[in-house]
A and B are shown apart, each in its own frame.
Chain A
Amino acid sequence: MITHDVIVVGSGLAGMRAAVEIRRKAPHADIALITKVYPTRSHSGAAQGGIAAALGNIRYDANGVPVLAPEDQPGDDWLTHMYDTVKGADFIGDQDAQEILAREAVPTIYELEHMGVPFSRTPDGRIAQRPFGGHTNPRACYAADRTGHALLHTLYGELVRYNVKVYPEWYMLSVVIEDNICRGVTALDIRTGEVHSVNAKATMFGTGGYGRAFKITSNAFSSTGDGITAAYRAGVPLEDMEFVQFHPTGLFSHGILLSEGARGEGGYLLNGLNERFMSRYAPGRMELAPRDVVSRSIYSELEAGRGAGPNAEYVLLDLRHLGKQKLDERLPQITELARDYLGIDPVTEPVPIQPTAHYSMGGIPTDADGRVVRGENEVVQGFFAAGECACASVHGANRLGTNSLLEATVYGRRTGQTIANFLHTESQSGVGAMPAMPPAALKQAEDEIRELMSRNGREIAADIRKDLQATMFQNAGVFRSAEKLEAELGIIEELRERFALISLDDKGRRYNTELIETLELAHLLEFSACIVAGALAREESRGAHARRDFPKRDDTQWMKHTLAYRDADGRPRLDYKAVRYGPDGPRFQPEERKY
């Protein structure tokens, strides 16, 4: 058995930022990080457009053009950022957490800059900022259109600086919770095929999102919600799983992300009639309305037969008027992606796009300090989560662009502080002993793998995955209805039965990626049922959850978070909990959400 004071699972921004913070605040703590990839491969690196913070380096002038703000007159403030986030979330976010996000954004960004993040700059050497959807002011700090990559590699450097022990290519199999105390995890060393139990006083998840449940997605192959399902299997409910963000501008048929920064820099969306159709849906903000609004608008255009292309099945992102120089300087990555994957040069041609599953608002419920909670707010001792796998909830029903890199770093940092304090308190009170790891946990993890490998049916895992992704995209996508969601629940049941009848080609232990893909598929099947059950029950439209049969938001009935508990038969059982506010109550009251 391996033992550490702290085990962090996941090497994206949240996990790495937390690890660094624990190193700083509790330098003697023995901390290690396990990750199913190598840290620099984590999906945080695919984020493009920016990271929000009310630095106020840039402001809009009287004509709405972004200009440099005088140093003594910042063009932004954290409260406006908070308001934008609350409204973007369609008022179901937890305002205590949203306040922390907006308040701590500014010091968090400066700290990242001091770590060496290569931000793009204003002419006077400050961090450059640009407009983004749903944000009142231009507050997206960026490193060209590879902001996530710049942050990820910088934080990886910090791991090296602080000499954090990393177990690369270890696949977490289960989180072990007994008597409401988290005891650590079990994990598979992919390289050797050995299963280990990892005992820890504090276990933190920064395991990312669940976009791979959908056919068209911007997410990496690795975004399979492993941590989310592991927590669910260990008795932690999943919160608000029905809120899935579809990013408006995925590369047509591939789903690969084309940054919202493209619209932030002035890009247009055009339908098949060459109209800037957003004037119909969000005349105030046009292309820079929040993502849920823009994705629905695109679908509405397609359904009205106003799509572009031979089959009218996509719309166009037009960047031609920005000019080659601006594209090269501000948006070089997406320019290259369009060329490489569609053979289209955005300098001379508009790019076919379609909404793509992008971000998981739901996940493992936490309080505003990163502690995992069950029920109304009962803390699971020694278990923490941050980033996309967690639901604090800062994004509510719809996340604003640039708030995810922010959440990962603000909450990674904050959760690291919580863990450092937890270790300190534990050792002061004399109960800092390592919680016992039940020996059965390791055996159970090994048995499950053995059972999976011994299956000898005729089903092909790839077919099951493909069917799940296609039907989830169809039935639990941008627009939903009771009819579609009920059908999808039945489909998931069938797929689960088929999954029992698979067989693996690869019976080896060492570097068995077929085994990993199969374990991931089991996760997809399990949490997809939570997405659909939550969506079916929620008879209203809020943020990214749009019901054709219930087109209005219903604050009387549905101003509450969904909790999906795992039943004995592995199906979700729904419960609900109240939306949280700070000690002084809500800073912002619900209002009609118009842009």
Chain B
Amino acid sequence: MEVRFRVHRYDPEEDATPRYQVYTVDVDGDMTVLDCLNQIKWYQDGTVTFRRSCRSAICGSCGMLINGRNRLACNTRVADFEASEVSVGPLPGFPILRDLVVDWDPFFAKDAAMKPYLINDTPPPDKERRQSPEEYSKIDNATLCIMCGCCSSSCPVVWNNGQYYGPAALTKAFRFIFDSRDTATRERIDIAGSEEGAWRCHTIFNCTTDCPKGVLNTQNIQALKRKVMLEKLGFTGTKLVFNVDPIYKEGEAQHEHEAGGIATRA
């Protein structure tokens, strides 16, 4: 099947404005958008520029705007669109370096601001720190994040306010705050609950919908808001926090999410 690819072309130092260039690819069977971009680059136009690496949806290199949604090019099958034209652009809201390549530095700087490493002020035991499967399950979903940027780039608040940490960084904050082994909760909520933190979230849910790994970003940010409130009000008792926060139980969070009628990734 012949499919027309409208590909975003832009070199900030050469071009006054971006343009879209059309390439035609003969698509068969299971070909992904990345397969097609490679065909274009290898056999039609070597100047088309994009990132890719693992082609198995784990390295996070190939997040792009594909037919209006942020997705990974490597696990998006062209046939699933049932369309003769596919448009491919860079992740919205990020500075563009060339064609489909965006500048990651601000994104990773926001991640770094979250102190993306475990802090525990007691000396480690000889063996592993114990963590029950129940405790682990609180962070299981958040650790799926591959830092592809699809979430932050789909967030209108990020588009509007370059200082907002955005969902990827806040999910990282969630991942450590709710890790039973981490003791820097106070320090972390001061960051995640700061002016450019969780409170900026308008619960638009784009970040959850567009996450290619099923990370519940918006829900994580709401959990952070509750955590910040309770901590700041002095309610730090485990039992109380646990009772008021359904997001701690992954199944319930999913249920709440689905009951809200918002489409999850098929």
Count A-B contacts at CB 8 Å. Answer: 162
Residues 236-266 of A at the B interface (beta carbon under 8 Å): 253-254, 256-257
| Per-residue contact bits, chain B 116-135, to A (CB 8 Å; 1 contact, 0 not) | 11101000101111111101
| Per-residue contact bits, chain A 207-246, to B (CB 8 Å; 1 contact, 0 not) | 0000000000010111000000000000000000000000
B117 pairs with A161, CB closer than 8 A: yes
Taken together as a complex, chains A and B put the C-alpha atoms of A540 and B25 apart, in Å, by 46
Interface 9-residue window, one of B96-104, B193-201, B218-226? B96-104
- Contact A143/B128 with A116-B118, A505-B46 known, Cβ cut-off 8 Å: no
A510 pairs with B52, CB closer than 8 A: no
Taken together as a complex, chains A and B put the C-alpha atoms of A157 and B175 apart, in Å, by 12
- Contact A115/B117 with A38-B108, A126-B130, A256-B55 known, Cβ cut-off 8 Å: yes
A41 pairs with B118, CB closer than 8 A: no
Taken together as a complex, chains A and B put the C-alpha atoms of A45 and B117 apart, in Å, by 17
Instruction: Check: A561 CB closer than 8 A to any chain B CB.
Output: no
Instruction: Check: B249 CB closer than 8 A to any chain A CB.
Output: no
Instruction: Check: B19 CB closer than 8 A to any chain A CB.
Output: no
Taken together as a complex, chains A and B put the C-alpha atoms of A343 and B30 apart, in Å, by 9
Residues of the A chain whose Cβ atoms lie less than 8 Å from the Cβ of B108: 38
Residues 29-57 of B at the A interface (beta carbon under 8 Å): 30, 32, 41-43, 45-47, 49-57
A126 pairs with B143, CB closer than 8 A: no
Set A125, A191, A511: member contacting B130, Cβ < 8 A: A125
Taken together as a complex, chains A and B put the C-alpha atoms of A220 and B117 apart, in Å, by 26
Interface 9-residue window, one of A82-90, A287-295, A333-341, A358-366? A333-341
Closest to B76 in A: A340
Taken together as a complex, chains A and B put the C-alpha atoms of A220 and B53 apart, in Å, by 5
Instruction: Check: B235 CB closer than 8 A to any chain A CB.
Output: no
Closest to B107 in A: A38
Residues of the A chain whose Cβ atoms lie less than 8 Å from the Cβ of B49: 506, 511-513
B56 pairs with A256, CB closer than 8 A: yes
B124 pairs with A114, CB closer than 8 A: yes
Residues of the B chain whose Cβ atoms lie less than 8 Å from the Cβ of A119: 128, 136
B50 pairs with A337, CB closer than 8 A: no
Residues of the B chain whose Cβ atoms lie less than 8 Å from the Cβ of A126: 127-128, 130
Instruction: Check: A3 CB closer than 8 A to any chain B CB.
Output: no
Set B58, B77, B133: member contacting A333, Cβ < 8 A: B58
B131 pairs with A156, CB closer than 8 A: no
B30 pairs with A342, CB closer than 8 A: yes
Interface size class of B (residues with CB under 8 A): 35 or more
Considering residues A42, A123, A220, which has the most beta carbons from chain B within 10 angstroms of its beta carbon?
A220
Residues of the B chain whose Cβ atoms lie less than 8 Å from the Cβ of A38: 104, 108
Set A118, A123, A191, A257: member contacting B56, Cβ < 8 A: A257
Residues of the A chain whose Cβ atoms lie less than 8 Å from the Cβ of B181: 116
A514 pairs with B53, CB closer than 8 A: no
Taken together as a complex, chains A and B put the C-alpha atoms of A41 and B56 apart, in Å, by 12
Taken together as a complex, chains A and B put the C-alpha atoms of A46 and B131 apart, in Å, by 25
Chain A residues bordering chain B, tally (CB within 8 A): 66
Residues 74-126 of B at the A interface (beta carbon under 8 Å): 75, 77, 97-98, 101, 104, 108, 111-112, 115-118, 120, 124, 126
Residues of the A chain whose Cβ atoms lie less than 8 Å from the Cβ of B177: none
Taken together as a complex, chains A and B put the C-alpha atoms of A560 and B132 apart, in Å, by 47
Residues of the A chain whose Cβ atoms lie less than 8 Å from the Cβ of B127: 55, 110, 126
Set A218, A222, A460: member contacting B43, Cβ < 8 A: A460
Instruction: Check: B11 CB closer than 8 A to any chain A CB.
Output: yes
A337 pairs with B97, CB closer than 8 A: no
Taken together as a complex, chains A and B put the C-alpha atoms of A46 and B60 apart, in Å, by 11
B61 pairs with A506, CB closer than 8 A: no
Instruction: Check: A121 CB closer than 8 A to any chain B CB.
Output: yes
Instruction: Check: A120 CB closer than 8 A to any chain B CB.
Output: yes
A221 pairs with B55, CB closer than 8 A: yes
Instruction: Check: B3 CB closer than 8 A to any chain A CB.
Output: no
A514 pairs with B143, CB closer than 8 A: no
Taken together as a complex, chains A and B put the C-alpha atoms of A505 and B49 apart, in Å, by 12
- Contact A341/B60 with A41-B53, A118-B143 known, Cβ cut-off 8 Å: no
Rounded to whole Å, the gap between the CB of B141 and the closest CB of chain A is: 10
Instruction: Check: B211 CB closer than 8 A to any chain A CB.
Output: no
List residues of chain B with CB under 8 Å of any chain A CB.
Answer: 11, 13, 30, 32, 41-43, 45-47, 49-61, 75, 77, 97-98, 101, 104, 108, 111-112, 115-118, 120, 124, 126-133, 135-136, 139-140, 143-147, 175-176, 179, 181-182
Besides A113-B128, A126-B127, A514-B41, 12 new A-B residue pairs in contact (Cβ under 8 A), listed by A number: A37-B59, A41-B60, A46-B59, A55-B128, A115-B117, A116-B117, A119-B128, A153-B143, A160-B112, A340-B57, A462-B42, A510-B97
> Can you list 7 A-B pairs, Cβ within 8 angstroms, ordered by A?
A46-B58, A110-B124, A118-B140, A125-B133, A149-B58, A153-B143, A340-B77
Q: Which 8 A-B pairs have the closest CB atoms?
A: A116-B118, A505-B46, A462-B42, A125-B130, A157-B117, A514-B46, A114-B124, A161-B117
